[in-house]
Structure 1
Amino acid sequence: MHTSSTDSSSINLAPIPSISALEWSSVSHIAIQDCGERLVPMSLAPSPIKVFPAYARLGIPGAIPECFVREGVYRALLAAARSLPQGISLLVLDGWRPWRVQQYLFDTLYEAILYHHPNATEDELLTRTSEFVSFPSRDPSAPSPHLTGGAVDVTLCDSDGLPLDMGTLFDEAIPASHTAHFELLGELSPPQQQARDNRRLLYHVMQQQGFTNLPSEWWHFDLGDQLWAHYGGHNQACYGPAELETIENRWRRHIS
């Protein structure tokens, strides 16, 4: 799934389209024909990509101190980063995610929503939770996107490595984190205009390399997984559930 880089002068900074809320049931029915690409660590990437494994730095149980993605995603991220204007870099926050981490994030957000809305029904709680964290699934036919290595969380940073203002923080589970949030407001303050423009830049450089965006999260992009197939209009996904290559598994396969 290699894609070529794009000259920064051709970046489209048009308004981000507003897309209706996702129906996960329509995504889980998309066929998967895994292409067999390996998971590779983003720390191998040269400038202008920076890597900050956010969940490991936050001490989340089971999180790994690296951001792994499928090889096609790795190359597409490099192409996106190289298309950015001078002085701006792509900052990778998360990629492949162990199932344990997915379960922890889902449960933690679920409990937080329940705390603030104690009278909410189970369906309401699940709907609100899955707006920002997909249901933990290792089902080969319907895996959580981050378990495939095709989903990646990214933002932009300046030449000093500091994240640009995107209007909300990464993983801030509020309506303002919806990618097109600032496109739907009236008159914007100067900081809001800057956040809107930063989102537009991120959205379009990623889109130009074949990624699709999850509309409820400005930071979440997909390539090759079922979400990508759904939003990109593809007949099937090419990334199913993935596991890290371990020395134990390698020895078991090759020692006779």
Structure 2
Amino acid sequence: MTAAKSYQKPYQQIPIRDCGEPLVPIPPEQFILESPHPYQKLGAPYDQSAADSPYHVRRDVRDRLIQANQYLQSQHPNLKILVFDAYRPIEVQQFMVDYAFSERLRSAGLTVENLSEERRNELWREVYQFWAVPSPDPATPPPHSTGAAVDITLFDLAGSALNMGSPIDEISPRSHPDYFVDSADKIEVQYHHNRQLLKRVMTAAGFHQHPKEWWHFSHGDQMWAWLQNGRNVRGAIARYGRY
């Protein structure tokens, strides 16, 4: 299953000068890592080699993630970062994009056979608001395929997740970081507070947050360079390309 057209993001115009840093493992003793990985449970085609593990990132990204977790625990000793996803090979990106499209079909009560071209394109637009195109072009890699991006949330040490108001990977406006910012509902105010805490510890370590995903942060990729440069393409350079 493939998209009917390309949905390029503004940041993908930014040139990449890869610094050559290796992928390194995220230390499991310092973070919460789910095993098996959520996408492996769905059948995503990860290679069996250690270097293909979803819990790898570039070396500086790992160091900054450790800084963020240390900063979090200095302020909230009962909390810890859960890493939901990190490095994502192109093949896994393709699998998850196709899976997300199939889920949109299912939730709409549609099948490929009864899908009009207009409705198909509409569904793909919804998917690509959140999922990057699994482009094989080295100039336009998906953020997770560079080893620069992580999907994370917060857990307390008793093993309970802080409620962020929507699950990771939900394709809906609720996933936007500031969706609950103007809410007067006490529960939704807490959702926003939790999201702000997550953002605060990550930005303190040099990460930028995805504009539409409360859980996605990166450092050094094209999206990061775009946000670091005030959402301006001119003059921005990414340090990490496809790995």
Q: Same fold judged by TM-score > 0.5?
A: yes
> How many residues end up aligned between the 2 structures?
216
Partner of 1:169: 167
**Long gaps (5+) in structure 1:** 1-22, 243-256
What is the root-mean-square deviation of aligned Cα atoms in Å?
2.0
Partner of 1:147: 145
Q: Which moved more, 1:113-122 or 1:174-183?
A: 113-122
CA contact (8 A) 1:57 1:65 kept: no
Aligned equivalents of 2:196, 2:81: Cα separation in 1: 14
How far off is 1:45 after superposition?
5.1
SS at match of 2:94: helix
Aligned equivalents of 1:94, 1:130: Cα separation in 2: 18
Aligned equivalents of 1:170, 1:198: Cα separation in 2: 14
Partner of 2:45: 62
Q: How does 1:189-200 map to 2 (within 5 A)?
A: 190-200=186-196
Partner of 1:82: 70
Confirm or deny that 1:32 pairs with 2:16. yes
Task: Tell me the amino acid that sits aligned with residue 78 of structure 1.
Answer: I
Task: Tell me the amino acid that sits aligned with residue 176 of structure 1.
Answer: R
Q: How does 1:9-48 map to 2 (within 5 A)?
A: 24-42=8-26, 44=27, 46-47=29-30
Cα 1:218/1:141, change in 2 over 3 Å:
same
SS at match of 2:130: coil
Normalised TM-score (structure 1): 0.78
Confirm or deny that 1:213 pairs with 2:197. no
- The share of aligned pairs that are identical, in percent, is 35
Partner of 1:93: 84
Aligned equivalents of 1:74, 1:187: Cα separation in 2: 37
Partner of 1:131: 129
Confirm or deny that 1:238 pairs with 2:239. yes
Aligned equivalents of 1:65, 1:96: Cα separation in 2: 7
SS at match of 1:182: coil
**Long gaps (5+) in structure 2:** 1-6, 47-51, 230-234
CA contact (8 A) 1:45 1:78 kept: no
Cα deviation per residue 1:93-151 (whole Å; 9 max; x = unaligned)?
11111111101111121233345274544543332111121111121111011100001
CA contact (8 A) 2:86 2:150 kept: yes
